[in-house]
Amino acid sequence: MVHLGTNILFAGNNFVRLLEGLWTTVWIAICALIIGLILGTGLGILRTSKNRPVRILLRLYLEFFRIVPSVVLLFLFYYILPRQLNLNLPAEQMAVLAFALWVAAEFSDIVRGALISVPQHQKESGLALGLNGWQLFRYVLLPQALVLELPATINLATRVVKTTSLLMLISVMDVINIGQQIIEANRQTYPNGIFWIYGIIFLFYFIVDYPLSLWARRLAAKQH
Amino acid sequence: MDLSIMQQAIPQFVKAFELTLWLSFVGILGALLVGVCCSLLQYFKVPFLGKVASVYVELFRNTPLLIQLFFLYYAFPVIGIKLPAQVCGIIGLAFLGGSYMAEGFTGGFNGVSQSQLDAGKAIGLNKFQLARYVVFPQGFTLSVPALAANVIFLIKETSIFSVIAIPELTNTALDLVGLYYRSNEYLFMLVLAYAIILIPLSIILTILERKVRYGSFGN
């Protein structure tokens, strides 16, 4: 009997395993995003401060993460953390850490951009009403900045999801790694399996990222 | 860190450096070409092809380069298309980059202010004259910062070529780490190499952004 190549996707528990791999991928992206956004908010606020050395330091932090490609970043953490700092984390947690610091860097720039683009008259009106520094931040700057930065933040999230494809390089059991295992295990039975497995993984990433980028675009269009 | 170890690795890094630059250059050129074509198809709403361009842009913008390369390099031979690794890398970069560049161009075209379009129509320009004399000159200028940011992004993406064993910078450095187990030295050189390529580019990008802001008129 001639079998269809697609059978490899549903043979045994292959599809369930791929979905589990996808969940690992998405979970790591979510963790990195949550930690990174919290940290990035703090850094972004600091980047609008009047303290010059702090601003320069944070700018350098941002530029470092902008210059180093994510593959290299992962390997830097993978080799240097255990050897230099004696910090032996499981690969998943290390990936979360590396991505979170990267997200924090990128997000700090988004936060800073949003904070400085709140119109000057808004701040002045707030001051005229007698708001103090914290109140001004909490009731005037923050709500407006959040709206301004949302599209860029969602775009950053899609980038994080795409970057999780690199997790297989540091042997995290993500969707690509599991896909490769399935391909290897079924090489005899399904010689064309590789086409379908990589095809479905391609589709998985698209299904996760496309709604996000559509959402970001809608929001951005509404703001103009 | 051991300086002599780094010194010995310089020739290999220089070779990898050149390869990274070359692959980036060809890939980015391809990306610009693909991007211009797609954004023009979308701008003029060419029947069918415009839709195809949109689908392509969405598909490639929302999937990782790694899986695109795996597809090209490992899955295509199954259906009889066998390409050398470097060709796969260039094609992958050109099509990934093409989707980003298309977005950049389209963003630029959309950024041309309504008053300019209205003024063009008021002096009786037809659709193509409007595109040729009003939208494109301003739109291309407006899209320059986005394109430059894409260039930086694409050069960084070449590090993913290491998964299909192209001996570019990342692959070379990881190979050396594997061979001699001197991670500090080689990783330092790797970061340095990317810094040498990317810092000047990112300075140029900042200057371009400032220039374009001066050049945005009619708003």
- pLDDT tens-digit readout, B18-30: 999 999 999 999 9
Structural domain total, chain B: 1
In sequence order, which residues have a C-beta less than 8 Å from that of residue B193 and are 6 or more positions away?
A: B13, B16, B17, B20, B169
Which residue of A76, A158, A199 is in closest CB contact with B62?
A: A158
Contact B79 A66 (CB under 8 A): no
Average pLDDT of chain B to the nearest whole number: 91
CATH number at residue B110: 1.10.3720.10
> What is the Cα Rg of chain B in Å?
21
The whole-angstrom distance between B82's CA and the closest CA on chain A is: 13
The domain in which residue B96 lies consists of 3-215
Residue of A nearest to B56 (CA): A206
Q: Is the per-residue pLDDT at A24 higher than 60?
A: yes
**Contact between residue A109 and residue A205 where contact means Cβ atoms under 8 Å apart:** no
Which residue of A66, A69, A205 is in closest CB contact with B159?
A: A69
Which residue of A84, A195, A210 is in closest CB contact with B62?
A: A210
Q: Is the per-residue pLDDT at B219 higher than 50?
A: no
Distance CA A91, CA A36 (A): 18
Which residues in chain B have their CB less than 8 angstroms from residue A209's CB? 62-63
Pick A95 or A11 by higher pLDDT: A95
Tokens 């991505």 identify what position?
A99
Residue type, B123: I
Q: Is the per-residue pLDDT at B214 higher than 60?
A: yes
pLDDT at B14: 95
Share of chain A above pLDDT 90, in %: 49
Share of chain B above pLDDT 90, in %: 69
In sequence order, which residues have a C-beta less than 8 Å from that of residue A150 and are 6 or more positions away?
A: A216, A219
Q: Is the per-residue pLDDT at A17 higher than 80?
A: yes
Domains and CATH numbers, chain A: 7-223 (1.10.3720.10)
Answer positive or negative: Cα dihedral of A48, A151, B151, B130.
Answer: negative
* Helix segments in chain B, DSSP class H: 3-43, 49-61, 65-70, 85-111, 114-122, 127-130, 136-157, 169-180, 183-215
Contact B163 A202 (CB under 8 A): no
Q: Is B191 an 8 Å CB contact of chain A?
A: yes
Which residues in chain A have their CB less than 8 angstroms from residue B162's CB? 71
Tokens 């390089």 identify what position?
A169
Q: What is the mean pLDDT of residues B103-126?
A: 92
Top residue of B62, B142, B189 to mutate, by most chain A CBs within 10 Å, is B62
pLDDT tens column, B64-88: 999 999 999 998 888 888 899 999 9
Distance CA A214, CA B28 (A): 25
The whole-angstrom distance between B202's CA and the closest CA on chain A is: 9
Which residue of A68, A158, A195 is in closest CB contact with B75?
A: A195
Cα–Cα–Cα angle for B203, A102, A43, rounded to 5 degrees: 85
